[in-house]
Amino acid sequence: MSQQFEDAFGSVYYITLGCAKNEVDTDRMRSLLLAAGYEVAYDVSEANLAIVNTCSFLASATEESIEATLALAEEVADGVRSVPIVMCGCVPSRYGDDLPGELPEVAAFVRTDEEDGIVAVVDRLLGVSRSAPAFVPDVKRTVEGSVAYVKISDGCDRFCSFCAIPYIRGRYHSRPAERILAEVRDLVDSGVREIVLIGQDTGIWGEDLPQEGEGPHNLAQLLVAVAGAVRPERVWIRVLYLQPEGMTDELIAAIRDTPEVLPYIDIPVQHCNARVLSAMNRSGSEAELDALFERLRREIPGMIIRTTYLVGFPGETLDDHEQMLAFMDRTGFDYTSVFAFSPEDGTRAARMEGQLDEDEKLERTQTAIDLAESLGFAATASHVGETAEVIVDGIEETDEGPELIGHAWFQAPDSDGAVHLDATEAAVGDIVTVEFTDSFCYELIGHVIG
C-alpha cells in the first residue's frame, strides 16, 4: 500500500562518515532525493528515513561506521514511529554480502556504485508509488556553505599493498570534463567560493578518456578550464590527493600561472625509504622526493605542502622510521597526517612477514605525530603578522558570544585548522582581508581589515 505525506513524500536524515569524497556522494544523494520530492530532516526524530554514508578505508573506520549505525538504530527504536535505516557507501561495497545477516537493524544496503539509484530505494522503503521514474541524472547539487568538493574521478588502479580502496570503489575512472565544468558553474552560481577538486589519484585525471578532439585532456588543462568556468566570480580552486608521479611540468606551470588555483599541494608520500615504498607497491626514493619538493618550492612561490606518513608498515625498521622523521624535518611540511599501519582484510600487506607489534607501532606513531605537530604549529605561527584573504565559513558560539570562523587560502577546509575572526558583520561565504594577530596549534586569530 502506497504511503503519502503532506507537502512532500517524506523527509530524510543524513549521517556522513569518512572523507570528503563521501561528503560529495551524500550531497549527490540528497540532491536526487530533493529533486524527487523528499525533504531534509535535521533530526532523526523528525525523519521518515535515515541514510548513513559509511567509510571503510581502515578497520577502525568500518567499526565507527557500524557503531554509528547501531547507535542510530537504538535512537530510532526509542522513537514514536518506525524510521528505516539505509546504509550506503564503502562498508556495503566492501562487505555487502555479509551485512544483511549481521545488521538486521538496516533496511537496505547501497554500494557506492549504486547510489544514483537511491530514489528507488527510498521509494520502496516508504511505499511511495510514482507514475514515472524520479531519477534525474543531471540534477544540480545542493551544497550548504561556501566550499564545495567536486569529484573529478573515482576508483583507483594503484593497488598499493596496504590499501583496500580499489576493492571498495573499483578501477580508476575519470569524470568527463563537461560534467565537471557544468557542476562547477552551478556551484559558483549558488554562492560557493571555493572549489576543491578531489579523487583517489587526481594527477592522472583524463588518461582513461578519449584523447582526440578538444580538451581538456589532463589535470593541468582541466585546472585552466575550471578557472575559466568560475570567472568573473572571485573563487578559489584547490586540488587534493596528488601522487608524486603526477607532478608534471605542465601541471606545475598550471598551478603557478593560473591565479584562481591555490599554491597548495596535497601529496601523500607515505614513506621516503625506497625499499619500504617498493613493498607498498609505490615508486620513488628519498632523493627523488627531495628533488620534487625542492622544485615545487622553487617554481611555485609560497607553496604550501601537505603529506601523509604511514607508520609501522611490515618490515619497517627503526632506522627506516628515523629516516622518514629526518625527511619530514628537513622538508618542513606545512601539514602532515600520520597513520599507523592497519592490516586490512584482502590487502597484500596484511599477509606480509615482518608485522610490527601494536606497542611498537603506537610508539613510532606518537613520535611522528609529535614531529608533525611541531612542524605544523610552527608553520601556522609563521603567518602571524601577515595579511591574507579568508573565506568566512560559519559562526561559532563561544563564552564571549558568537564568533566568525573561516579559513585562509593556505588551510584546506576541514583539515588544516581555522581562522577565528574578530568581526561579526561579515556573512558566510564572504571573502575578507585579514591580518593574523596570533596563533594556537593549527588555529589563527585574525583582525578583519577589509
d(CA 281, CA 159): 7
160 marked as binding residue? yes
Q: Please list, in sequence order, all residues whose beta carbon lies within 8 angstroms of the beta carbon of residue 412, skipping any fewer than 6 positions away.
A: 196, 238, 240, 264, 266, 306, 335
d(CA 369, CA 372): 5
Are the C-beta atoms of 280 and 349 separated by less than 8 Å? yes
441 marked as binding residue? no
Helix axes 118-126, 20-35, angle to 10 degrees: 60
Closest CA to 88 of 111, 106, 59: 111
Q: For residue 232, say if its preceding peptide bond is cis, omega within 30 degrees of 0.
A: yes
Are the C-beta atoms of 195 and 391 separated by less than 8 Å? no
Say what the alpha-carbon torsion angle 152, 379, 391, 439 is, to the nearest 10 degrees: 150
d(CA 394, CA 113): 33
19 marked as binding residue? yes
Closest CA to 166 of 203, 131, 200, 194: 200
Supply angle C-alpha 31, 44, 395, rounded to 5: 70
Instruction: Return the half-sphere exposure (C-beta side, CA atoms, 13 A cut-off) of residue 108.
Output: 21
Q: For residue 216, say if its preceding peptide bond is cis, omega within 30 degrees of 0.
A: yes
DSSP 8-state code for residue 139: P
d(CA 330, CA 293): 11
d(CA 37, CA 62): 31
88 marked as binding residue? no
272 marked as binding residue? no
- Look at the block and give the residue holding cell 618542513: 332
Could you list the residues known to form a binding site for [4Fe-4S] cluster, using ranges. Answer: 19, 55, 90, 156, 160, 163
Would you list which residues are annotated within the binding site?
Answer: 19, 55, 90, 156, 160, 163
